[in-house]
Amino acid sequence: MDDSPLALLIVLAASALAVGGLIALNRFIGGWSDIRFEDVSLPAQRLEEDVIGFRSGDGVIASNGLAALVMEQDEARLGLVLARGDRCVTRALRPGEIARLEGDGPRFHIHFNDFTLPRVTLDLDESAAEGWETIMRRFVKDAAASTGEGHVRAS
């Protein structure tokens, strides 16, 4: 094979076209389908697979189907599952691990002291919002003991 710039450009273009074709074929046959939660069974399964000892109890799905809250059977932890494309992000929250919870009707902004997942917004059904707000409040860091968003007072 010739090492001329034109030959290298042709090989590069053909490779890019082949990879693009494989990606399109995979997308077409359903290899990549975004997750949407229809009920609490998939989020519960993901939590039980990802979090050691987690046994799923009651749960609620966000109105857009991209997030779920699942209470552990013994109510020691609250599971949070977020759909991210064809994968899920899971968190098992213990009391005090939510830095701040802001409720605006059925919409909740959950703030964490975690740079990998600093904030999550959940839109719940009106009927479920009040009960789940009460549950989430049990996992919010005590406001009197908090000195801010993860910062320690200097003096």
Q: Any idea where the domains of the chain sit in the sequence?
A: 1-33, 41-137
CATH code reported for the domain at 41-137:
2.30.29
Chain segment 65-75, per-residue pLDDT in tens? 999 999 999 99
What is the phi/psi pair of residue 6, to 5°? Answer: -65, -40
Chain segment 85-134, per-residue pLDDT in tens? 888 999 999 999 999 999 998 999 999 988 888 999 999 999 899 899 99
- Long-range pairs for 77-81 at CB < 8 Å and ≥24 separation? 77/51, 78/135, 78/136, 78/138, 78/139, 79/43, 79/44, 79/47, 79/51, 79/54, 80/110, 80/120, 81/37, 81/43, 81/46, 81/47
Specify the pTM. Answer: 0.73
26 touches 86 (CB < 8 A): no
Task: Tell me what percent of the residues of the chain surpass a pLDDT of 70.
Answer: 88
Pick from 33-37, 90-94, 151-155: least confident: 151-155
